[in-house]
Amino acid sequence: MQYKKKNFYVENISTEKLARKFNTPLYCYSYLKLKNNIINFKNHFKKINPLICFSVKSNSNIKILREIKNLDCGADVVSMGEMMKVLKAGINTKKIVFSGVGKTYSELEYAINKNILLINVESRSELLVVEKIGKLKKKKIDIGIRLNPNINAKTLQQISTGKKENKFGVTEKEFLKLVKHAKLSKSLKLKCLSVHIGSQIFSHKPYEKMLKVIDKLIKQTNHKFEFVDLGGGMGISYEKNNKKLNLKIYNSLINKFLKKNSCKIIFEPGRSIIADTGILISKIIYIKKNKNKNFVILDAAMNDLMRPALYGAKHQIIPSKKNKKITNKIFEFVGPICESTDKFLTTKKFQNIREGELIIICDVGAYGMSLSSNYNLRTLPAEILVKNSKIQVIKSRQKLSDII
Ligand SMILES: *Cc1c(COP(=O)(O)O)cnc(C)c1O
């Protein structure tokens, strides 16, 4: 996705054309980018040869899931809905892992009936429920136990998951107790140790600490884990000067770990695979000029893309059609929703823009559409995929009549 002369393109189709054809706000994805991301990810971890279970909560469009399946990935799901969708997308049950702190009895039963690869339990209570279902069905159920390694992932507080004050996983002490329990159980087969310490992690240091904790703990259990599931969280750059996680270093840390522990590594990447494959095209409805600020009021809002309102996340905003006239004034890009957090970005300068023109919000492929809602009774936007020069509507725009 890039400018060709003055216009921004998704592969070989201009965003101006896409907006004209499908209206705005519009999510657009590039298949080529997705394919390259997955190939690059795999190349970084060639020797490890991990099972890649795409984190479905980051993007659950079924057409995207089908492409991801065809690129040889499995899925990490966190609800019955996600599980049903990845099965519909044709993802092999032996490539599905189920995470989450609050899996209900019926969700667990459904997963057990489908014989998925792993249920990663996050508490003693959950483990007991899985055991009970196994007993009733006279089945031995493959499980993992999610460890909370008490590590500061140095990411946004709202997306940290591996500190002891976070609700996820179990402490080392509890982990050891649950391992003992699972090993003695006739209905459980303990196959995996899983972790996921947070999202948007830039430094390899938290991962290094995490691997140390896992290594130590596995020794203490004296159990042969077939899988170690390291979760996702690999950080990507949303701003020009932002760093991203050095996968080379992470790879060498894992290789070191594997010398001492022979097991299959599972990754659950979401953002690092899908974030930069998507953009959101939006039209400027009004420009409201104050003395020292221009409010640029867009037809996209926090219901279409919630990350800025939810986490204060920053997504770059660029014009669909470039010009050279820069205005040095504060521009605040906002949506029409009746909430003061409904704003995307504040910049100190922007090119000359006018009402009716288009802008592009970048890197919205992860936690974009999947976090959208009907707040303010606004319809969900459409999603399109550009693949091999062809445009596919992978989700049509919701109609007002569907929600009224
Ligand atoms: C959200 C989540 C992921 C994916 O995180 P990213 O930062 O998108 O890579 C992986 N595993 C679990 C258990 C998650 O909850």
Residue 301, pLDDT > 80, answer yes
Average pLDDT, the chain: 96
> At the top level of CATH, which class does the domain 2-29+275-403 belong to?
mainly beta
For residue 243, the model assigns a pLDDT of 78
Ligand 1, atom nearest to 268 Cα: 10
Q: How confident is the model at residue 159 (pLDDT cuts 50, 70, 90)?
A: confident
Q: Show the 3-state SS of the chain.
A: CEEECCEEEECCEEHHHHHHHHCCCEEEEEHHHHHHHHHHHHHHCCCCCCEEEEEHHHCCCHHHHHHHHHCCCEEEECCHHHHHHHHHCCCCHHHEEECCCCCCHHHHHHHHHCCCCEEEECCHHHHHHHHHHHHHHCCCEEEEEEECCCCCCCCCHHHECCCCCCCCCECHHHHHHHHHHHHHCCCEEEEEEECCCECCECCCHHHHHHHHHHHHHHHHHCCCCCEEECCCCECCCCCCCCCCCCHHHHHHHHHHHHHHCCCEEEECCCHHHHHHHEEEEEEEEEEEECCCEEEEEECCCCCCCCHHHHHCCCCCEEECECCCCEECCEEEEECCCCCCCCEEEEECCEECCCCCCEEEECCCCCCCHHHCCCHHHCCCCEEEEEECCEEEEEECCCCHHHHC
Query: Which of 103, 268, 367 has most ligand 1 atoms within 8 Å of CB, for mutation?
Result: 268
Q: How confident is the model at residue 157 (pLDDT cuts 50, 70, 90)?
A: confident
For residue 213, the model assigns a pLDDT of 96
In CATH terms, the fold of domain 31-273 is TIM Barrel (3.20.20)
Could you read off the pLDDT of 35-72 as tens digits, one per residue? Answer: 999 999 999 999 999 999 999 999 999 999 999 999 99
Ligand 1, atom nearest to 100 Cα: 13
Could you read off the pLDDT of 81-95 as tens digits, one per residue? Answer: 999 999 999 999 999
Q: CA 118 to CA 94: how far, in whole Å? A: 8
Using the mean position of ligand 1's atoms as its centre, give its distance from the Cα of residue 310 in Å: 17
Q: Position of tokens 């006239």?
A: 325
For residue 6, the model assigns a pLDDT of 96
Could you read off the pLDDT of 224-277 as tens digits, one per residue? Answer: 999 999 999 999 999 876 678 899 999 999 999 999 999 999 999 999 999 999
Residue 24, pLDDT > 90, answer yes
Domain boundaries, the chain: 2-29+275-403, 31-273
Residue 152, pLDDT > 90, answer no
Could you read off the pLDDT of 373-396 as tens digits, one per residue? Answer: 999 999 999 999 999 999 999 999
Residue nearest to atom 3 of ligand 1 (CA): 232
Pocket of ligand 1 (CB under 6 A): 55, 57-58, 76, 99, 196, 199, 231-234, 268-272, 366
Asked about 362 being catalytic, the answer comes back as no
Residue 198, pLDDT > 80, answer yes
Q: Which of 28, 73, 263, 338 is catalytic?
A: 338
For residue 308, the model assigns a pLDDT of 97
Q: What is the mean pLDDT of residues 197-225?
A: 95
Q: How confident is the model at residue 333 (pLDDT cuts 50, 70, 90)?
A: very high
Q: What is the mean pLDDT of residues 119-137?
A: 98
Q: What is the mean pLDDT of residues 155-163?
A: 81
For residue 242, the model assigns a pLDDT of 67
Residue 132, pLDDT > 80, answer yes
Q: How confident is the model at residue 155 (pLDDT cuts 50, 70, 90)?
A: confident
